[in-house]
Chains A and B, each alone.
Chain A
Amino acid sequence: MGPVVSAKQYVLTFAALLALTLSTVLIGFLDLGWGSMFVAVAIALAKATLIACFFMHALLERKLVKLVIAGAILWFLILVTLTVGDYLTRGWLGFGGK
């Protein structure tokens, strides 16, 4: 097994990650209200994607591995949506505790 990715690509990824970190901080100083958390998490998602694709070689992996990654993300989303769904719909009926 030879190297799958060139060293140059790693360095580029590294630079992109640093740039994104800097932009997270800078955008954080802007008052975006509710949006600021979304932007921060969105940039974090971009960074995570870079790490997964280029450091962890997820792009070059078998379909099976991609399925595992997709599954993990999907299951996390199931957990969050169905739970937060309860909290967001509480009170819709207009009387306490329902």
Chain B
Amino acid sequence: MSTVVKIPTAETPNYLTEERGILSWLLTTDHKRIGLLYLASVTFFFFIGGIFALLMRLELATPETDLVSPHTYNELFSMHGIIMVWFFLIPSIPNTLGNFLIPMMIGAKDLAYPKLNLASWYIYMFGGIVALYSMARGGVDTGWTFYTPFSTIYSNTYVVGAALGIFISGFASILTGLNFIATIHCMRAPGLTWFKLPLFVWSHYATSIIFVLATPILAVVLLMIAVERIFQVGIFSASLGGDPVLFQHMFWFYSHPAVYIMVLPGMAVISELVAAFSRKRIFGYTFVAYASVSIAVIGFLVWGHHMFVAGTSVYSAMYFSLLSYAVAVPSAIKVFNWTATLYKGSISWDTPMLYAIGFIGLFTIGGMTGLFLAALGVDVHVTDTYFVVAHFHYIMVGGTIMAFLGGMHYWWPKISGRMYPEGISKLSALTVFLGFNLTFFPQFVLGYLGMPRRYAAYPPEFQTLHVLSTAGATILGAGYLMPLIYFFWSWHYGPIAPPNPWRATGLEWRTPSPPPKHNFEVTPVVTQKAYDYDAMKEELGLV
């Protein structure tokens, strides 16, 4: 490796200090700064969505509707879903860590289209503001799924506004995906062939395919909803012979792959963490790389499993069920390979690794309960119940958010140039893990017992489990507040981080922390495969 790492001093400008002032942030085309803009925005939306969730959980502590009215409760879960899915989960990892790291991992100065990258942040923010505005005006009560004919004829809330906000932010997703694909194809450093890429990049590449091919369907179906609602013409409603199930087909054609938009970047992070904190190449690198892409591709073929009781044909249910089992195979491969990477490794228990191990455990439970939902006969009972709610929270909260937090800790030294406090961060990882399980495990039991989702009030025999869940949510909330506070602390007061505090192998660690504006002083030439500890042992000082 020809890059000479300089220890940053006050004199060496980095991407944070090269330019100053608010305009230098708002007009930046630097992928790292845009990543930070996204980080601030998704954190903001995460806490808004989190407050909605907490209010819901408080309401559900008793069987009656005593804290909020049923209508308010319906708005709470709708807005929780909309904010969390489109304004937090989907942009969370790709647009923050992905934006920050992909160019560095491939040895590029920036993404292929830096201006487009900035534009996509503005589009995302504009969509977010439209959505928040329609929520402030009175909210929306359709659920995040916007099922017709409720959303187009019967709901009296700001459906068009919320749909418009999502529609707009969808373009940010498309542009991000487009940017990543072009970047990964065209901007790799000399010598960096596909099978030398870190798995983080592979996984984000797979994510981008979904961004680009699924999001347009969401855009068009939301447009149709808006047209139907504004002009009162029936596209999906029965007034003209339309079919509400067609809406569900189109919606899930996007929204199921969107689940993989959320979890593939999480897998991307975990692959990096497991390798770095075991000091080993990921077991079966090629399998894991291909698994990412096949998840993205097969993930497009399974959307009908959301509609097994919706009135679709029995035969289509069969092929969707079979394909759903097919997509579970690459996910299983990933879990096995990460686990096998630990074998004979040199495992450290730094905070990111705690999150990674937590991720593998929770993702396994989330994925396996997916097998229940894919089994046609079992799904009939548990679909539309808390079982589904618990299942996708295990994937999205237990998976994606755990990975996001793990990744934030891992790359924090690179982003900020400072270390986070190790003790309290371990405590927060533990709190999040315990709080999460206490919140969502009881919901599996609730769903198994037949408690339907989206109920503001419920029969009294479900109360014990709901109370457990609410208690867990409080702990989980506290667990999420801790990193927010200590990351702010660390930004100003944390110990100065060396360029490569973890002795990891990625290109991003071979440039100062924080990196200079163009990432590398000299464009790196790559000669070795990813996670090649043997080749780098002298440089990393390992024996």
A interface residues, Cβ below 8 angstroms from B: 64, 71-72, 75, 78-79, 82-83, 85-87, 89-93, 97-98
Contacts and interface: CB of A to CB of B under 8 A. Distances in A.
B314 A75 contact: no
Contacts of B311: 97
B253 A86 contact: no
A3 to B, nearest CB: 24
B304 A86 contact: yes
Interface of B: 185, 213, 217, 245-246, 249-250, 253, 300-301, 303-304, 311-316, 319-320
Nearest to A75: B213
Nearest to A76: B213
A89 B316 contact: yes
Contacts of A98: 313-314
Contacts of A71: 213
A92 B312 CA distance: 11
A98 B250 CA distance: 19
Of B300, B312, B313, B314, most A-chain CB atoms within 10 Å:
B313
A64 B253 CA distance: 25
Given A64-B185, A83-B249, A97-B311, A78 B316 contact: no
Contact of A85 (B213, B217, B246, B316): B316
B213 A89 contact: no
A37 B217 CA distance: 24
Contact of A82 (B185, B213, B245, B319): B319
Contacts of A82: 301, 303-304, 316, 319-320
A91 B314 CA distance: 9
A64 B181 CA distance: 11
Given A71-B213, A97-B311, A79 B316 contact: no
Contacts of B250: 83
A15 B167 CA distance: 40
Contacts of B213: 71-72, 75
A10 to B, nearest CB: 28
A75 B300 contact: yes
A78 B217 contact: no
B196 to A, nearest CB: 18
Contacts of A86: 245, 249, 304, 312-313, 316
A89 B315 contact: yes
A79 B246 contact: no
A89 B249 contact: no
A93 B314 contact: yes
Contacts of A89: 313-316
24 contacts: A64-B185, A72-B213, A75-B213, A75-B300, A78-B300, A78-B301, A82-B303, A82-B304, A82-B319, A82-B320, A83-B246, A83-B249, A83-B253, A85-B315, A85-B319, A86-B245, A86-B249, A86-B316, A87-B313, A89-B316, A90-B312, A90-B313, A91-B313, A93-B313
